[in-house]
């Protein structure tokens, strides 16, 4: 037997394609997926027919038209469509810059699946939940150290909710000083996450968005022009979504403070700076971490994530209730906080992710966290060097400078020379079993691509991703049609886009689809 030749690069990927029907089409009348404990005869005799307990107008007359399926058929359906999905576990998931797609350790999932967590009711007596309260208290302590802030709330459900919680605390702070009405503007930057602008608008603020200077830094002069006695807050990310660290950040916070504003730090991009630089030293009053980004909890197809809102001393009174406290002997939740902004969500936070984050930090320690940051930055700068060798791509701004944990690239040259757009590259990348994302809108960087290689990927992984981008660049110059007609190797082919924006055609549910298409 001859030796088998090595596999070619890039790999010849094809996604699973089960041709799986929509679940309603799998229904077989009479089948059951699970059964319930039968109601005891004595209970039935005592209370009678449940239908009689309800007045006619509250009684459902036709059972919901759900599919009827045996257990194994439900399992098989979902297992099949799960194979038609890519997660961090499967792919070199460096294409979703700003979102820190890192490895979520399996041991932490296992730890979070114990009934000692999953089967706890949030209103149990404190004496029966000392373990989880201690985990919450300890994680808060760790985040305080990592950020330099004085206290944290682990309640927000994800990053957007944490941003909003911080805005509410800022609003309450100004109101407590009688400046609530006067301070009606917030300042953010275009390279900060859109939720900063959007959440501030919900909270009633006028949003001023700063654009970068010619080198890509948040424009200090523009900030000076924007601040006034109306400034409530600066909501800013650093490094921004370009991966550029703003070295004047302390001046930004000083200027806003001098105008009486509060500075709130969106630490979505904290992965490259753990143990390197902190919110406190940069002068922030508020900050938040996304535990599902920096602290490794899985992204769950879009949540549950977890947000952690940090505050300095003067904002502690406004923290959401309850806070987690320790009196030297026992842990408890404190609701008696009269200046609190109140609740951000039910109960205390996404506890499974709080536990996972705690376990992740415990597995790494201070040196490990620093290693995370350093390797994330090393990976990013390595990737930068390699990507810039690809024809048609550039890294606008901050020429010759290092980037922190991600880079917003531009395919502008490639588009001009080949007519291939970043959105088309996004789809073509899926043909190689990888993920790629352009960037948040608006596309200030033309034809953008945002890569964040985190610490979870090996040099070989990065080389493989670069090889795919390189191949697509070659295709753009030699055979753009293959990009324009992608995907070729995925579960499905190009989907018609018009129905999604046409109210006569769009179908958010199977019943709407059947109604609008006349399908039986």
Site for other proteins in 181-210 (CB under 8 A): 194-195, 197-204, 207, 209
Instruction: Report d(CA 293, CA 195) in Å as an integer.
Output: 16
User: Closest Cα to residue 217, out of 265, 178, 251?
Assistant: 251
Q: 348 to each of 218, 268, 309, how far by Cα in Å?
A: 35, 21, 13
Of 95-103, 225-233, 257-265, 468-476, the window that binds other proteins (rule: CB under 8 A) is 95-103
**CA distance linking residue 345 with residue 351, whole number of Å:** 12
Angle at 392 between CA 387 and CA 393, to 5 degrees: 40
Does 476 bind other proteins (CB under 8 A)? Our answer is no
Rounded CA-CA distance 478/498 in Å is: 30
Classify each residue of 231-258 as buried b or exposed e, where b means 16 or more C-beta atoms within 10 Å of its C-beta: bbbbbbbbbbbbbbbbeebeebbebbbe
Q: Which of residues 39-78 bind other proteins (CB under 8 A)?
A: 39-40, 42-44, 46-47, 50-51, 53-55, 57-61, 63-69, 71, 74-75, 77-78
From the CB of 60, what's the least distance to other proteins, in Å? 5
- Does 440 help bind other proteins (rule: CB under 8 A)? yes
SS (H, E, C) 381-447: HHHHHHHCCCCCCECCCCCCCCCCCCEEEECHHHHHHHCCCHHHHHHHHHCCCCCCCCCCCCCCCCC
Q: Is 334 near other proteins (CB under 8 A)?
A: no
318 binds other proteins per the rule CB under 8 A: no
Draw the binding track, 126-165, toward other proteins (x: CB under 8 A; -: no contact).
Answer: -xxxxxx-xx------x--xx-x--------xxxxx--x-
Q: Does 444 bind other proteins (CB under 8 A)?
A: no
Is 12 a binding residue for other proteins by CB under 8 A? The answer is no
Site string for other proteins, 271-310 (x = CB under 8 A): --xxxxxx--xx-------x-x---x-xxxxxxxx-----
Q: Binding-site residue total for other proteins (CB under 8 A)?
A: 215
H or E element: which one contains 322?
A: none
Q: Does the footprint of other proteins cover residue 491 (CB under 8 A)?
A: yes
214 lies in the site for other proteins, by CB under 8 A: no
For residues 219 and 461, which CB has a smaller minimum distance to other proteins in the complex? 461
Among 257, 339, 370, 484, binds other proteins (CB under 8 A): 370
Question: Counting contacts by CB under 8 A, is residue 122 touching other proteins?
Answer: yes
Q: How many Å apart are CA 396 and CA 408, to the nearest integer?
A: 8
Encoded tokens for 75: 């399992």
**Looking at beta carbons, which pairs linking 174-179 to residues 24 or more positions away fall under 8 Å?**
174/232, 174/262, 176/318, 176/339, 179/260
Q: Is 515 in the site for other proteins (CB under 8 A)?
A: yes
- Name the residue nearer to other proteins (CB basis): 409 or 437: 437
Binding residues among 380-439 for other proteins as defined by CB under 8 A: 381-382, 384-385, 401-402, 426-427, 430, 433-435, 437
Among 295, 348, 409, 465, binds other proteins (CB under 8 A): 348
Nearer to other proteins, 350 or 395 (CB): 350
Shortest Å, Cβ 478 to other proteins: 23
Nearest to 361 by CA among 150, 100, 115, 138: 138
Determine, following the binding rule CB under 8 A, whether residue 518 of this chain makes contact with other proteins. Answer: no
Q: What is the DSSP letter of 40?
A: P
Q: Is 506 in the site for other proteins (CB under 8 A)?
A: yes
């Amino acid at each position: 037997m001859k030796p088998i030749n090595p596999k070619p690069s890039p790999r010849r990927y094809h996604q699973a394609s089960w041709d799986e029907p929509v679940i309603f089409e799998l229904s077989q009348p009479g089948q059951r997926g699970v059964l319930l404990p039968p109601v005891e005869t004595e209970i039935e005799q005592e209370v009678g027919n449940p239908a009689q307990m309800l007045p006619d107008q509250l009684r459902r007359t036709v059972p919901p038209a759900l599919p009827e399926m045996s257990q194994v058929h439900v399992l098989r359906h979902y297992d099949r469509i799960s194979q038609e999905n890519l997660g961090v576990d499967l792919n070199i998931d460096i294409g979703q810059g700003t979102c820190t797609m890192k490895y979520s350790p399996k041991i932490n999932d296992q730890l979070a699946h114990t009934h000692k967590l999953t089967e706890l009711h949030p209103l149990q007596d404190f004496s029966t939940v000392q373990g989880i309260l201690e985990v919450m208290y300890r994680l808060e302590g760790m985040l305080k150290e990592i950020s330099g802030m004085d206290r944290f709330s682990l309640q927000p459900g994800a990053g957007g909710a944490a941003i909003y919680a911080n805005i509410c605390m800022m609003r309450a702070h100004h109101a407590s000083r009688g400046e609530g009405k006067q301070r009606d503007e917030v300042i953010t930057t275009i390279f900060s996450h859109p939720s900063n602008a959007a959440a501030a608008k919900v909270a009633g603020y006028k949003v001023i968005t700063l654009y970068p200077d010619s080198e890509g830094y948040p424009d200090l002069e523009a900030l000076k022009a924007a601040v006034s006695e109306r400034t409530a807050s600066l909501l800013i990310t650093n490094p921004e979504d370009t991966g550029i660290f703003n070295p004047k950040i302390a001046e930004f916070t000083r200027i806003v403070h001098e105008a009486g504003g509060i500075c709130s730090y969106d630490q979505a991009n904290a992965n490259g700076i753990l143990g390197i630089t902190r919110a406190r030293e940069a002068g922030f009053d508020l900050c938040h971490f996304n535990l599902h980004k920096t602290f490794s909890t899985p992204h769950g197809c879009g949540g549950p994530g977890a947000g952690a809102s940090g505050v300095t001393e003067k904002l502690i009174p406004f923290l959401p209730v309850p806070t987690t406290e320790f009196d030297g002997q026992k842990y408890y939740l404190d609701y008696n906080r009269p200046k609190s902004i109140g609740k951000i969500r039910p109960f205390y936070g996404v506890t499974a992710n709080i536990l996972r984050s705690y376990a992740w930090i415990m597995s790494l320690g201070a040196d490990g966290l620093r290693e995370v940051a350093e390797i994330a930055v090393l990976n990013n700068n390595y990737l930068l060097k390699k990507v810039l060798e690809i024809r048609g791509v550039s890294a606008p701004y901050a020429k010759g400078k290092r980037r922190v944990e991600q880079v917003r690239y531009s395919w502008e040259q490639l588009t001009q020379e080949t007519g291939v757009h970043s959105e088309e590259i996004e789809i073509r990348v899926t043909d190689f079993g990888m993920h790629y994302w352009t960037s948040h809108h608006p596309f200030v960087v033309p034809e953008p691509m945002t890569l964040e290689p985190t610490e979870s990927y090996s040099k070989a992984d990065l080389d493989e991703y670069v090889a795919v981008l390189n191949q697509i660049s070659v295709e753009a110059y030699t055979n753009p049609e293959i990009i324009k007609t992608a995907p070729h190797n995925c579960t499905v082919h190009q989907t018609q886009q018009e129905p999604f924006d046409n109210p006569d055609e769009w179908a958010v549910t199977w019943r709407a689809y059947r109604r609008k298409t006349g399908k039986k």
